[in-house]
Amino acid sequence: MSSSPRENRPLVASANENNEIDRAEAARLLRLARTADPVDADQLVDWAFAVLPDSPAIRRLKIQSSLAQNDVDLADALIAIGLLHRPTDPSLTFLRARSLFMQGEFERADQEIHLVLTRRLNHVGVQELAAQIAGARNDYSRAIRHHERVLDLQPNRSDVREMLVRDLLHISKVARAKAIFKSLTYAPPLLEAQVLRAEGRMLDAAMCLETATEKATDASERDTLLYELIDLLESLGHWPRLIHLVSKLPSDTPRASYRASKAMLLIGRFSQCRELTDRFASRLRYEQEAQANRLVADALQGRISLSKNEIEPQTLAVDPAGLALLAENWQRGILGLIVSNQWSRRKSSVAHNSGVLQNLVQKALAVFNHELAEDEKGRSDMPTTEIQRNRALCLIRLGSPVLAAEAFSQSATPYYPPAKADLALPRAA
C-alpha cells in the first residue's frame, strides 16, 4: 500500500462498545485487505478476526490466510470449528480439501473435492484444485477434464493451457499436446523440451534445455532445467556428456544434485554419488533420498559399517516410501557394479568376481523379468525400453551376449560397446 492505514485512522477501534461497532470495524478492515499487498492483507485479516472471530466470512479469510502461510494446523482447527456450525458449507469443505492436498493426503482431499464439485461445478478455484488433486494421484485423464472446464470458464488462462499440455504428455497424447503448445503466446523452455522429448526429438530437447539453463537467472528455475537435462542424458546413455555436466553442477541445485546422484549410481561412480548426496542431505524434503543414497553407495564401496548406520527403525526400515527408494537405488547400484565391472579395464576385485555379485545380478534380472511381464499386462510404471536396457546389462554380466543383444534391440537406447573410446565409461570410483 502507498500509505499505512494507521496514518489516517486507527486500524482497530480502541474500544468496541457494541456488536454493531465490531461489525463496522471488521467490514472496514476487510475492505482495506482487498487492496493491500499480501503482507498487509494478512495483518488486516488478523485484526478483523480479532475483532469478530465468530463471523463465518472472516473465519474463511483467516483460514485462507493461514493456508497461504502454510500454517495448516491453525487452518484445520478453524475449519473444524466452522464445520461444527455449518457442516454442509461447500466453501469450508473446499478449504479442507486444499489443506489435505497441501499435507499430501491426496485420497482424502479427493473425497472432499468431490463433495464440493456436486454443488459448485462452475467454480474456477474448485475445478483447479480438483485438477491438482487428480494430477497428484496420477489420474491425468481426470486432471485434463478439470483443466478443460477451467478453460471453458476462463479461455485466456495460458497457465492452465501449459498444465493441460503436461497432462496430455503424461498419457502420451502428443499430437494434441503439441497443438495446444503451439497456441501459447510464450513457450516455456522446459515445456518445449518436454514436448520435443515426447516426439522422440531427444537431441533437440537436450539443446533446448542446455540453452535455457545458460540463460536462467533464477536458481529454482535452473535447478528444474538441470534436473530435466540430467534425466534426458541418462535416458540417452550419453555418459561422458552427463558426467561433464554433473562435474559443473552449481551448489544451489538440490533437486538436480539428487537426480545426478541417482545417475552416478547407475554407472558405478559411488564416491561421486556420495559427494552429490551431501549437497541435498540437509534439506528436510530429501531426508529419505539422502539415506537411501548413502546406504547403497557405502555398501557397494565395501563401507558396510557406514551403510548400517543409515538404517534407522523410524525411517527407511519401516516407511514404505523409504523402502521403495531403497529398492530402486539397490537396482541402480547393482547395475552400476555390472557396468563398471564390464567396461573398466582394471582387473575386477575379488568381491566383484565372487558369487555375491553374480547372485545380486540374478536377482536384479528376476526383478526386470517380472517388470517386463507386468509391462505386457499394462501394469508396470517402468518404460519398456528401460526394462529391456536393464535386462541387457544384467545378461551381459551373466555371460549371455545373444540374449543381451536381443534385449538391446528392443530398447530405444543404443548400446555402445566399450571399444568406442568416446562413449566408454571412465573408471568406476
Extents of the domains making up the chain: 201-324, 356-414
Compute the half-sphere exposure of residue 341: CA atoms within 13 Å on the CB side of its CA: 23
Scan for cell 555375491, then name that residue: 356
Beta-carbon contacts of 285 under 8 Å, excluding residues fewer than 6 positions away, are none
- Sign of the alpha-carbon dihedral angle for 298, 300, 302, 307: positive
425 neighbors 340 (Cβ within 8 angstroms): yes
Of 149, 147, 175, the closest CA to residue 161 belongs to 147
Whole-angstrom distance, CA of residue 172 vs CA of residue 165? 10
Please choose, from the candidates 139, 128, 196, the residue with its C-alpha nearest in 3D space to the C-alpha of residue 163: 128
**Cβ-proximal residues to 319 (8 Å cutoff; 6+ apart), any chain:** 288
Place of cell 469450508: 92
Other Cβ atoms closer than 10 A to 402: 8
Residue at 56: amino acid letter: P
Q: What one-character-per-residue DSSP string does 348-385 give?
A: PPHHHHSHHHHHHHHHHHHHHHHHHHHHHTT--SS-HH
pLDDT 10s digit of each residue in the chain, 429 long?
Answer: 444 444 444 444 433 444 444 555 556 555 655 555 555 566 666 666 666 667 777 777 777 777 777 888 888 888 888 888 888 888 888 888 989 998 889 999 999 999 999 888 888 989 999 999 999 998 999 999 999 999 999 999 999 999 999 999 999 899 999 999 999 998 899 999 999 999 989 999 999 999 999 999 999 999 999 999 999 998 888 888 999 999 999 988 999 999 999 999 988 899 999 999 988 888 877 888 888 888 888 877 776 555 555 554 434 444 566 666 777 787 788 778 777 765 554 444 434 445 666 676 777 788 888 888 888 887 777 777 777 777 777 776 677 766 766 666 665 444 333 333 333 333 333
Q: Tell me the pTM.
A: 0.66
- CA pair distance 177, 159, nearest whole angstrom: 14
Alpha-carbon distance values, 64 to 28, 70, 275, 341 (Å): 19, 10, 41, 56
C-alpha to C-alpha distance for 215 and 186, rounded to whole angstroms: 16
Query: pLDDT digit string (tens) for 123-180?
Result: 898 999 999 999 999 899 999 999 999 999 999 999 999 999 999 999 989 999 999 9
The pLDDT of residue 425? 33
DSSP 131-178: HHHHHHTT-HHHHHHHHHHHHHH-TT-HHHHHHHHHHHHHTT-HHHHH
User: What's the Cα-to-Cα distance from 302 to each of 270, 293, 306, 308, rounded to whole Å?
Assistant: 11, 14, 9, 11
Architecture of domain 201-324: Alpha Horseshoe (1.25)
Per-residue pLDDT at 345:
42
Closest CA to 167 of 122, 188, 198, 189: 198
Q: Distance from first CA to last CA of the chain, Å, rounded?
A: 57
Rounded (5°) CA angle 42-48-52: 145
* CB within 8 Å of 154: residues ≥ 6 apart: 124, 160
426 burial type by CB count under 10 A (0-12 exposed, 13-18 middle, 19+ buried): middle
- Which amino acid belongs to residue 87? P
pLDDT in tens, 333-349: 877 877 776 555 444 44
